[in-house]
Structure 1
Amino acid sequence: MILQKKYQFDNWNDWDHTINISATNFIKEFGFSPNILLANEYTYSQIDFITTINPEKKQNAKRIDGVKELEDKNDINLSVYISGKIEINFCIDNIEDKQFILVYDDESDNDTEEIPIESSPKVLINY
């Protein structure tokens, strides 16, 4: 089962709040927590940029592999958003700038396609 709904960022500085509010709306509407956020590369680059230059957001960025300190805090590349029980993986899609789609995918289709393993750990935001 796949559920999805489109949202939009109005202000890059509030990207994390926008995701949180949108995820809460998604849960109220569908009864499931979204686990995927689809957006285009430009939208993700703006999220990474704001996280890099904003000290409050930068301090919430953590490495997925559990290492406490980021090696280079000037090169943040987020791949997951976590807030409480909400965990949303970032995926690139071809949609308009500033728009994003929250998706709940229960992954029950028994897809056997292999998932590529990334060579470097990505960064997540913990809100």
Structure 2
Amino acid sequence: MASVNYDSQMPLDPFAGDPNDPASFLDADEPAPPLTDEERVGILHDLSVVAKCKKKLQPRGILGVFFLCEDCDDFHYYDWDIMAANMTATLAGELSPVHEPSLQPDVSAYVPWDYAQGYLDGLDAS
């Protein structure tokens, strides 16, 4: 039996048992291609940025980042811990854990990734 990336703090997979699961195109027996050295360095850098964001921005009310999803043309909101978990899973060669953002996130508490990085730069410059 293949290992399952499951965290008891996360909700169950909403597509479990669904024959139309969007991930059904993935071959469970075929591992993801290994990260290149450049990709690994980039993810490690981003992971350190996420840790700094959580430490410096969360106390200021910035809970995470949002991205525009090209598949559904809607914004997706990610807390710092979810970002870190996704990056850590990628570094370990695993699929990211299933997660669901809050149903009605306070959108004013989330910023674009580039804004978060710029905010950190501004804090470091002062």
TM-score by length of 1: 0.25
| Greater percentage in helix | 2
Q: Relative contact order (alpha carbons < 8 A, sep ≥ 6): 1 or 2 greater?
A: 1
TM-score by length of 2: 0.25
